[in-house]
Amino acid sequence: MKKLRLLSLIVIIITGIFFTMSCNSCQSKKEIVLTESYVIKSPSFNADSAYKFVERQVEFGSRVPGTMAHKECGDYLVSKLNEFGASVIQQRANITHYDGQNIEIRNIIGIYNPDAHKRILLFAHWDSRPFSDEESDPATRNLPVAGADDGASGVGTLLEVARQINLHPIDLGIDIIFFDLEDWGQPSYSTEWVQGNWWCVGSQYWSEHPHVENYKADFGILLDMVGGANATFMKEGYSLQYASNLVDKIWSTALKMGYGNYFVPNRGGYITDDHVQVNQNHRAPSANIINLKSDTSTGFAAYWHTQKDDMRNIDKNTLKAVGQTVLEVIYNEQVD
């Protein structure tokens, strides 16, 4: 915090010098050029650290519920949240999926300042999709995705946020939830469609059975596919419908910090994602930061739900833009 204040002071002094200099010249030109300088309040988000958290998850293998990789990665996420000073609650439940299969879900929740009234909810899904149904080759489309971007990027970013919160404590309540079973919706090549909500099952379960009775947060932020190079975070439909002020806050914060090339002003479509049930069950007005594309047939990055969603697509600059924006939004909130 001391370093941060010193940095802020230096920025203010430099700005002051600049103003004094520009005013000398403005007397002759008779105009004042106001340069906007934004002083960052949050600790620095370390993208190298976040990248390693993404990589570590991918190393376990596809985190498909029911597999060893899923179990081991879940244990890893619990241990990291503990290491970063959060109290951890795990939520387990059995659900029946569209094919009649019984699946155990495991939502992992890290809590800071459990008694604080003002709370922010941060979430991402940690499971991987069991098929690569956007592959055209029938030989590969039944293989699970590596899920570097689709899953691991959001979780890795939030682990780095947790690490920073531990290093720079705040008074706000923060709840970080890693939702399970987001990505086992029926494959796009299905011929029989079973009626039901098969996407976002972990968040659906939590929204109906929160870890704390009558749980509510002041707002929530979902990170989904936040690691791709040149990602474009369009303003997603449900986010604007349920949490337009929050969308403004996030996007304007990103813009002020120079991340306007990622947080674009475009309006995106309505995406069925973990924030929908959180919003509908009034747990928190929530926005989705998700990489949306207008030049692909799916509306997502070209590698989405294919065998190509691996570490080669993960770009530290994107992780930095998202992580620093989330931290800045958090550290600008005041406890009232």
Which residues contribute to the site for ligand AHN (CB under 6 A)? 150, 183, 185, 199, 224, 271-273
From the list Zn ion, ligand AHN, none, which binds 199 (C-beta under 5 to 8 Å, kind-based)? ligand AHN
- Longest CA span, the chain: 80
Listed in sequence order, the residues at least 6 apart from 239 whose beta carbon sits closer than 8 Å to its beta carbon are: 246, 247, 275, 286, 287, 288
Closest-CA residue to 172 (of 330, 42, 287, 284): 330
CB of 229 to Zn ion, least distance (A): 18
- Nearest residue to ligand AHN by CB is 272
Stretch of 39-47, 57-65, 150-158, 251-259 lying at the interface with Zn ion (CB under 5 A): 150-158
**Per CB under 5 A, 134 contacts Zn ion:** no
Find the shortest distance in angstroms from Cβ 124 to Zn ion.
12
315 binds, among ligand AHN, Zn ion, none (CB under 5 to 8 A by kind): none
Task: Burial-class residue 154 by CB neighbours within 10 Å (0-12, 13-18, 19+).
Answer: buried
The residue among 60 and 126 lying less far from ligand AHN, judged by its C-beta, is 126
For residues 141 and 156, give the distance between their C-alpha atoms in angstroms, rounded to a whole number: 26
Q: Name the nearest CA neighbour of 257 among 98, 37, 16.
A: 37
Which partner in Zn ion, ligand AHN, none is near 206 (CB below 5 to 8 A by kind)? none
State the binding partner of 173 from Zn ion, ligand AHN, none, CB within 5 to 8 A by kind.
none
CB of 304 to ligand AHN, least distance (A): 7
User: Which residues are within 8 A (CB) of 289 and not within 5 positions of it... i.e. 6 or more apart?
Assistant: 221, 222, 223, 224, 226, 233, 250, 322, 326
Task: Give the residue with the Cβ less far from ligand AHN, 113 or 204.
Answer: 204
**Unique residue bearing structure tokens 């919706």:** 185
Nearest distance in Å: CB 185, ligand AHN: 6
Q: How far is the CB of 125 from ligand AHN (least distance, A)?
A: 7
Site for Zn ion in 248-277 (CB under 5 A): none
Element (H, E) at 334: none
> 43 or 151: whose CB is closer to ligand AHN?
151
Q: Provide the minimum distance between the beta carbon of 124 and ligand AHN in the complex, in angstroms, as a whole number.
A: 10
The minimum distance between CB 307 and ligand AHN, in angstroms, equals 15
Min dist CB 53 to ligand AHN, Å, is: 18
Establish if 150 lies at the interface with Zn ion (CB under 5 A).
Answer: yes
Nearer residue to ligand AHN within complex by CB, 273 or 333: 273
State the burial class of residue 295 (Cβ atoms within 10 Å of its Cβ: 0-12, 13-18, 19+).
exposed
- Interface pattern 9-28 for Zn ion (x via CB under 5 A): --------------------
Choose from Zn ion, ligand AHN, none: what does 271 bind? Cβ within 5-8 Å by kind: ligand AHN
291: DSSP letter:
B
Which three-class secondary structure state does DSSP give residue 288?
Answer: strand
**183 is an interface residue for Zn ion by CB under 5 A:** yes
Rg (C-alpha) for the chain, rounded Å, is 21
DSSP per-residue string spanning 9-51? HHHHHHHHHHHHHHHHHHHHHT---PPP-PPP-SPPP-HHHHH
Helix (H, G, I), strand (E, B) or coil at 318: helix
Q: Indicate the residue type of 235.
A: K
> Kind and range of the H or E element at 144?
none
Report the residue number, 128 or 164, with the smaller CB distance to ligand AHN: 128
**Nearest-angstrom CA–CA distance, 262 and 274:** 21
> What residues line the site for Zn ion (CB under 5 A)?
129, 150, 183
